Amino acid sequence: MVLDIPIIARGRVLMPGEDAVLFKGRGGADFRQADPHRHIHDLVLGDTARLRDLHDTPMREIIDLLAELGKRLRLDDNELLQQSFALALKAGGLAEPILRGVYDALPAMFDAAMMTALVDKTIGVDHLDGWVAGQNGYGNTSIRAVGTRQLHITAGNVPVVAAMTVARAGLTKSDILIKSPSNDPLTANAIARTLIGLAPDHPVTKHIAVAYWKGGDEFMDSQIVRTSRIDKITAWGGMSSVRHIQKFLQPGIDLTALNPKYSMSMVGRETFASEAAMDEAAVGLATLAGFYNQTACANTRIVYVESDTDEASLDKVIDLGRRMVAAYDRLPPLLSVPFTVPNRELEAELAAVSLEDDFYHVEGDTLKGGFVVSKFNDRVEFYDKLANRVVNFVPVDDLKDVLKWCDDTTQTVGIYPESIRPRLLDLFALAGVQRLVSLSGGDPMTVYANSHHMPPGSPHDGIEPMRRSVRWVVDMRPMAEAGAAHDDMALGLAAE
C-alpha cells in the first residue's frame, strides 16, 4: 500500500494529484506526494513583510494556541498521528513500545508553563513582543528579537524533533519550512494538519510549511536556499546532508548544524570497590546505552573504565559488561526492547574481533545486546558502527586520558561514581563535551530522568538554538542629555 501525503503550505493541505511523485521510503514505507518542484512558491515565504501578522501577535496568544495544540496530540485521539505512527513504525528504527512512548510524550512538549519558561530563558517574552529599552545609562537604545524565515532539515530517528521544530517556530515568531526525513515523513505533517484543524487562519498556522524531497536534490535546495527566501537553516541530518546544504550558503544565511554526535560513559576505579557499586553502574550503563534502542546521539557506545590491563583487572571489566547486559532486561519496554532482526554489518565486525582474543573479549549479539572489552588502551576501529545495544569497554590508566578522544562531536558523557565529577568537569568542558550526566540511581527510569529532564531553555549540543533563530535588532535614538557620564563616554569614543 502506498500512502498519499500532502504538502502543507501555510494553512493549505495540497494532496497529490496529477503531479504526484512516488518516493521510496525506508523499510518499504513508500508514499506519494505532490511534486515539490512545482510547489516551491507555496513552500517559501519570500517577502519579509508577510511576517508582520506573526510579529504583531502577542506571545501569550501564541503560547495558548500551542498549548491547545498539545492537547490534541494524544495518539489515541488523533487519526493523523495514528497514521504517522504507523508509517514511522515501518520506516523508522524504533520498536512499537518505544515509539509509542515517544508519541505519548508529545503533548507535554507543548505545556504552557514550560513554553513560557523556555522563551523567558532563551529570548525573553518582552523582547519578542516589543522593543525593550536599554539600561545602565544607555536609555537611547532599544532591542527587539525579530522572527525569521527558516528552513529546518529534520532528523527522523526520534519523532520529537518534529514537535520541537513546530513549537520553536511559534515561540520565535518565525516562518518555517520543514523538510521531512524519509524515515519519518509524516509526523511534522500530522502536527501541522492538526494545527490547521484547530486554527486554520491563525498567524502561526499561516507560517508553517512541510514537504518532503530527496536529500541531495540540488534543484530544490538551490531554489529554496536564497537570501530572498531564507534567513536561517537548522540542519539535523547526517554529515553528508550538512555538507550538501553548505554548498548553497551565502552571506545572509545562518546555518545551525545539529550534526551527528557521539556519546560515551566513564567509570572510575571506585566502581569496583563493592558489588553494590558494580550493580548500580551497570544499571546506569544499560540505561544510557539502551534507551531508544541506541538510536539517539545521547546513547553511550563506548565506556572508558579506569582500570589496569592485567588479567585480573580485565576480568572485573568483563564482569561489569555482563552485569550491564543483564540489566538490559530491567529496562521498561518504553525505553528499550530486544531486537528482532540482527545487525549483519556489526555482527561481522564482532565475529572478526572475537578471533583476536589476545586483544579483545566479545560477548553477546545484536539481538539482545552485548559488549567488546578492549584489552589495551584504545577503542575498536568500528566504534562508529556500534548499535543494537552493543558497547565497547576501554580500559584507561586515568580518565583524563579520555580527553584525546573528545571534541565538539562529543555530546553526552555518563559518569560513575559522582565522586569523579569534580576532577573531570572543567577539563572535559574545555575539550568540547556538551553534557555530563549521572549513571547513579540504580533504577532505569531514575537514571533516564536524571539524564534527560533538563530545565526549559537549556543549551542543545552546546548552543542555544532558539536564541540563534531570531534576529536581534538594535534601535538607537539620538542621545538625550544624560549628564557628564554620557559626555565623557562620547568623548572617549570620539578619541578612539
- Predicted confidence at residue 27, as pLDDT, reads 66
- Predicted confidence at residue 490, as pLDDT, reads 45
Mean pLDDT of the chain: 91
Check pLDDT > 80 for residue 156.
no
247 and 369 fall within a common domain: no
216 and 275 fall within a common domain: no
Pairing of strands 141-146, 132-133: antiparallel
Taking only the tens place, the pLDDT of each residue in 54-93 is 999 999 999 999 999 999 999 999 999 999 999 888 887 7
Task: Please count the structural domains in the chain.
Answer: 2
CA 122, CA 269: separation in Å to the nearest integer?
Answer: 39
Mean pLDDT, to the nearest integer, of 205-222? 92
Check pLDDT > 70 for residue 36.
yes
176 and 49 fall within a common domain: yes
Cα torsion at 297, 300, 301, 305 (round to 10°)?
A: 150
Contact predicate 435/412, CB 8 Å = yes
Residue 467 forms part of a structural domain? no
242 and 366 fall within a common domain: no
Contact predicate 129/58, CB 8 Å = yes
Contact predicate 154/165, CB 8 Å = yes
Q: Which of 144-148, 242-246, 490-494 has the lowest mean pLDDT?
A: 490-494
Domain's final residue, options 260, 279, 308: 260
Residue 239: band (very low, low, confident or very high) from pLDDT cuts 50, 70, 90: low
b (16+ CB within 10 A) / e for 165-175: bbbbbbbbbbb
Q: Which residue range forms the structural domain that includes residue 44?
A: 3-260
Taking only the tens place, the pLDDT of each residue in 295-324 is 999 999 999 999 999 999 999 999 999 999
| Of 257 and 205, the one with more pLDDT | 205
230 and 275 fall within a common domain: no
Q: Which of 176-190, 404-418, 471-485 has the lowest mean pLDDT?
A: 471-485
- Predicted confidence at residue 217, as pLDDT, reads 87
165 and 183 fall within a common domain: yes
- Predicted confidence at residue 256, as pLDDT, reads 86
CATH code (residue 383)? 3.40.309.10
290 and 439 fall within a common domain: yes
Taking only the tens place, the pLDDT of each residue in 426-456 is 999 999 999 999 999 999 999 999 999 888 8
- Predicted confidence at residue 294, as pLDDT, reads 95
Q: 264: closest CA among 299, 217, 215?
A: 299
Check pLDDT > 60 for residue 483.
no
250 and 267 fall within a common domain: no
Check pLDDT > 60 for residue 408.
yes
- Predicted confidence at residue 348, as pLDDT, reads 97
Residue 180 forms part of a structural domain? yes
149 and 270 fall within a common domain: no
Residue 107 forms part of a structural domain? yes
204 and 270 fall within a common domain: no
Residue 366: band (very low, low, confident or very high) from pLDDT cuts 50, 70, 90: very high
Check pLDDT > 60 for residue 479.
yes
Residue 225 forms part of a structural domain? yes
- Predicted confidence at residue 26, as pLDDT, reads 72
Domain's final residue, options 207, 228, 260: 260
Residue 464 forms part of a structural domain? no
The 8-class DSSP code of residue 64 comes to H
Taking only the tens place, the pLDDT of each residue in 119-140 is 999 999 999 999 998 766 667 8
Residue 232: band (very low, low, confident or very high) from pLDDT cuts 50, 70, 90: very high
CATH code (residue 200)? 3.40.605.10
201 and 186 fall within a common domain: yes
Residue 269 forms part of a structural domain? yes
Residue 434 forms part of a structural domain? yes
Contact predicate 211/235, CB 8 Å = no
Q: Which of 100-114, 239-253, 296-310 has the lowest mean pLDDT?
A: 239-253
Mean pLDDT, to the nearest integer, of 149-173? 91
